[in-house]
Amino acid sequence: MSKLRVTGAAGIVGLSLLAAVAAPGAAHAQAAIVNALQRINDKLDAQVVPFKVTIAGGLCDSAGDTTSNPRIAIDSDGTAGEFVVTSILLKTTAPGIPETGIHDVTLNYIRIDGEQFDTRTANLLGPTDGSGVLESADILGTPVRRSGDHEAPPLGGNVPHQIVAQSAGDSDVELELFCSTTDQDISFDTILVAGWKRPADSVTVTYVPGS
């Protein structure tokens, strides 16, 4: 039930009760009704709703001998309480990951409320069969690697399956990638971030491209 409907229904009940109050102590009864309505609204404010933010991506790394560290920043403007990120989905641009020259598309770290966690993964994406395939992957839940091998390393634990962050300051959640390609540019077409937030809060996602 929406806040408006609950507040409206509670308001009708409150007005009916106020109309029935005609004895001494009416002020106390009115105050009790107002407090009850406020408690209803407070409970509604404490609820969470799903969110989904989709933004355009950008360059992961340009062809050549250099490497890049693009970043994804997620920020909530909420002033009270946390928000939860449950998915960070990447999709490449056409023609997708090149068949040759791709070296690295990995996650370096996740920073949550200023605390950095080095969650180094194997390659998140690679060339697949068929032309025009736009490779996609969710970063969250990816295994971390236990060696310097980016292709088929021994695997350890996982990147968190969900991230809980305080809504304080800029970039409540930040991810840094490591991208390296020699033959063709690699770019992301779309970045989708989903999770849970308080109804009045807004979540923004920013992509800082590689070079």
List, for residues 101-118, the tens digit of each pLDDT value: 678 899 999 999 999 999
Hey, what CATH class is 49-208 in? mainly beta
Residue 4's pLDDT is what?
44
33 pLDDT band (50/70/90 cuts)? confident
For residue 3, what are its two tokens? 């806040």
pLDDT in tens, 148-193: 888 888 899 999 999 999 877 777 999 999 999 988 899 999 999 9
Contact 124, 137 (CB under 8 A): yes
45: confidence class by pLDDT, cuts 50, 70, 90: low
| Mean pLDDT over the full length of the chain | 84
Quick one: 163 exposed, middle or buried, by C-beta within 10 A (0-12, 13-18, 19+)?
buried
Q: Where are the domains of the chain?
A: 3-45, 49-208
Name the residue among 81, 69, 4, 76 with its Cα closest to residue 40.
4
Q: What is the CA radius of gyration of the chain?
A: 24
